[in-house]
Amino acid sequence: ESATAFGCLVSDMWLGEFDYVSPEAFHSVFGKRYPAFSRRTQHDAQEFLICVLDDLHEAFKEVRAQLCQERQSSAAGSSTRSSSGTSIITHLFEGQLSYGIRCLTCKALSDRPESFTVLSLPIPSTRVCSLQDCLECFFQPDTLTRNNQIHCYWCGSNQDATVKASITKAPQIIIFHLKRFAWQDKHRRKLSTTVCYPFSDLDLSPYISTSCHNNTEYSLCAVVNHAGDMDYGHYTAFCKHSVTKHWYSFDDAQVTKIPDSAVQADTAYLLFY
């Protein structure tokens, strides 16, 4: 299965016996489970990442549930299967948002929770902006009117409302997707905006609910880059070694050590903190 193939890939990478490791075996197994990714055409890295995380979650969740069942059976002679929906993937990557929705007529406030593994951030500029600008844009209050009205339980009808998101559970590893592919003038195009992102001390406390007690400061550990346009492109990655703290560039068969200054790139598409 793809989880086993992924485990073999990671193991080969950390053994350090090769100059580079090809993910051919993992891609082959994963492509059988998700045929859309089996073709050698350009795909979206964010969509691929979400599928990989979902697939690993399902695999590890099943193992965990089976272990819980075996422990319960041996302890109490029971065959009850654990219904736990958690895994190492949810433990590391899953966060929780809460959308506070306030009716502008009766002022009633309701909350809508939503889990996430990747936060897709709008890019509010066409030339230069910061990751903080993208976060401000994502978390700024919005007004729902006309066709976007909410159905207010207390008013018993559709009403204008305001909605504001906040983080109620901050994941250990938070992934930001910069929405570079956007609609402009009825045409979908790639935004080449320079987005400046911090390497350390990223403070998310302005966007986190007071009920959340997680650590709110993050450091950058990886970047996925996309060079090219809508129809043709090339993905590369920058990753920080967890022991030496050195940065490395992964560009197909070329794996090279790079200076910290090279990690700030105009091609950044996914940021891992």
Confidence of residue 187 (pLDDT cuts 50, 70, 90): confident
Whether residue 144 is contained in a domain is answered as no
Partners of residue 238 on adjacent β-strands = 223, 249
Please tell me whether residue 200 adopts helix, strand or coil conformation.
Answer: coil
Whether residue 7 is contained in a domain is answered as yes
Q: What total of structural domains would you count in the chain?
A: 1
Q: How far apart are CA 97 and CA 78, in angstroms?
A: 37
- Position 1 scores a pLDDT of 84
Q: How many CA atoms lie within 13 A of 65 on its CB side?
A: 13
Please tell me whether residue 168 adopts helix, strand or coil conformation.
Answer: strand
Whether residue 201 is contained in a domain is answered as no
**Residue 55: domain span:** 1-70+85-93
- Position 189 scores a pLDDT of 83
CB contact set of 185 (below 8 Å; sequence gap of 6+): none
Whether residue 170 is contained in a domain is answered as no
Q: 103 with 168: CB under 8 angstroms? A: no
Q: Report residue 124: phi and psi, to 5°.
A: -80, 5
Lowest model confidence (mean pLDDT) among 8-12, 179-183, 236-240 = 179-183
